[in-house]
Amino acid sequence: MTAIAGFSEMVTRNLRQSGIFAAFVLIVLLFSLLNSNFLSPGNLTNIVLQYSYILILAIGMVMVIVLGQIDLSVGSVVALTGAVAAVLVIRNGAPWWVGALAALAVGGLVGMWQGFWVAYVGIPGFIVTLAGMLLFRGMTYRVLDNVSLSPFGGTYYDVANGFSTNGWFGGYGVDVFTLVIFGLAVVGYAVSQWRTRMGRIAYQQVVESMPIFVAKIAVVAVVVMAFGYQLAQYRGLPNILILLAVLILAYSVITQRSVFGRHIYAIGGNLNAAQLSGVKVRKVTFWTFVNMGLLAGVAGVVFSSRMNGAQPSAGNMFELDAIAAAFIGGASTTGGVGRVTGAMTGALIMAVMSNGMQLMGVPQSIQQMVKGLVLLLAVAFDVWNKRRADAR
C-alpha cells in the first residue's frame, strides 16, 4: 500500500528544500510589488546575463564544498582566463574560439595545479586556493601588463551578450523558438517527475496525493512559461541561458547519477569510510579541483565577453558570491551535503536581490549588508533545521 502524504507533511518533510524555493518566490514577489519594472522582459533577461558567471562558478563550487573543501581562487582564475583570451583575441587578432579554448585550457591547468597540492601533497584546499587567489591575481596583472584590454567585439562578444537563436522559428514580436524550448523543458520536467513518482510507488514509498502532484507541476509550468514568454517578448533566448541550461543539466547528472559524483558525496560524508571502501580519494579530489578550474575558465570567458574586455581587477570577490550561493542553496559546511540545483537557487536568490535592490536605488553599502545577513540567516536556518531533525 502506497502511503500518500498531505500537503503540510510534504512541506515539513522537505523544509530545507521547500524553504529555499519559498524564500526565492517571496523575494521575487516582494521586488515585483516594489518595482513594476522588475518582471519586465528586459530586466529578466538582464538578471540572467548579469549573474550567469556566478551561477557557473556555483556549480563547481558546490561540488568542491560537498567534497569538504573550499576554493577561494575562482575570482582570480576568472580574471586570469579572461586576460589570456583578451591577449590572444584583442592584442594578437586570434579567432574568438582560440581565445575561448585557451581560457578553458588555462582554467584546466590551474585546476590541476591546485588539485595536485590538495590531493597529492595533502595541503588543505583553503590554503592552496588562498595562495592561488594571490598567485593568479598577480599573473593576471603580468599577462595584461597592468592595463585593461578592450573591446573583443564580434563573436566573442556575442557569447554572453548575443541572442543567436532569435527568430529561428519566426514569430511577430514574440520569439517562437524560445517558447518551443521552454515548452520542451516543461514537458521534460513533468515526465521526469512522473517517472520518479512511479518509481516511488513501485518501491512503496511515500508520494504526494494526485491533486497536489498535478498542482505542483501546473505551478512550475505556469511560472516557467511566463518567464519564457517574457524573454520571447524581448530578444528571445540569450546564448548564455542555453549554455547555463546545458551545464546545469549535465552537472545534475554528473553529481546525482555518476560514480564520480557519488564518490564526491562519500568523501565529504566520511573520508575514512570512503578510503576503506576503496574510493580513490586522491583521484576524485584532484578531478573535482580540475573541474572547478575548467568551470572558472568558462566563467572567465563569459565574464570577459559580458564586459567586452579584460581588466586586471576583474572577478574580484566572485569566489565569495559563489560560496554564498552554495551555502544559501543548502550545502553543509562540513561537506557531504549540497546539490547543484540548490546552489543554482541560492545564486538566483543573490542575483534577484542584487538586481532588485539596484532597481530600487539601494546604495551599494546597504546591498552588501543585506546579502551578508541573508547568508547568515540561511545557514542559521539550516543548523536549526538539522538540530530539530536530530532531536526527533
Partner 1 sequence: MSSTVAATRVPVLAIRQVSKRFGPVEALVDVDLVVHPHEVVALVGDNGAGKSTLAKVVSGVMAPDSGVIELDGEPVAIASPSDAHQAGIATVFQDYALCENLDVTANLFLGRELRERSLMRDGEMERVARGILRVLTSRIPSVRTPIAHLTAGQRQTVAIARTLIGSPRLVILDEPTAALSVAHTAEVLNHIERLRELGLGVVLISHNLNDVRAVSDRIEVLRHGRNNGSFDTRNVSQEELLAAITGATQVPEPRPSDVGR
Binding residues for partner 1, per CB under 8 A?
A: 203, 205, 253, 257-260, 262-263, 265-266, 268-270, 272-279, 336-337
Name the minimum Å distance from CB 279 to partner 1. Answer: 5
Amino acid at 118: V
Name the minimum Å distance from CB 263 to partner 1. Answer: 8
The residue among 272 and 365 lying less far from partner 1, judged by its C-beta, is 272
- What's the alpha-carbon Rg for the chain, to the nearest Å? 22
Q: Do β-strands 207-208 and 4-5 pair in parallel, antiparallel, or remain unpaired?
A: parallel
Name the minimum Å distance from CB 258 to partner 1. Answer: 5
The residue among 191 and 259 lying less far from partner 1, judged by its C-beta, is 259
Name the minimum Å distance from CB 251 to partner 1. Answer: 14
122-149 b/e with 16+ CB inside 10 Å = b? eeebeebbeebbebbbebbeebbeeeeb
The residue among 216 and 262 lying less far from partner 1, judged by its C-beta, is 262
DSSP output for 6-44 = -HHHHHHHTHHHHHHHHHHHHHHHHHHHH-TTTTSHHHH
The residue among 49 and 248 lying less far from partner 1, judged by its C-beta, is 248
Q: Rounded to a whole number, what is the distance in angstroms from the first to the last CA of the chain? A: 25
DSSP output for 42-105 = HHHHHHHHHHHHHHHHHHHHHHHHHTT-----HHHHHHHHHHHHHIIIIIT---HHHHHHHHHH
Name the minimum Å distance from CB 275 to partner 1. Answer: 7
The residue among 240 and 331 lying less far from partner 1, judged by its C-beta, is 331
Q: Cα 258 to chain center, whole Å? A: 19
Name the minimum Å distance from CB 274 to partner 1. Answer: 7
Distances (CA, A) of 103 to 86, 302, 367: 9, 10, 32
The residue among 83 and 266 lying less far from partner 1, judged by its C-beta, is 266
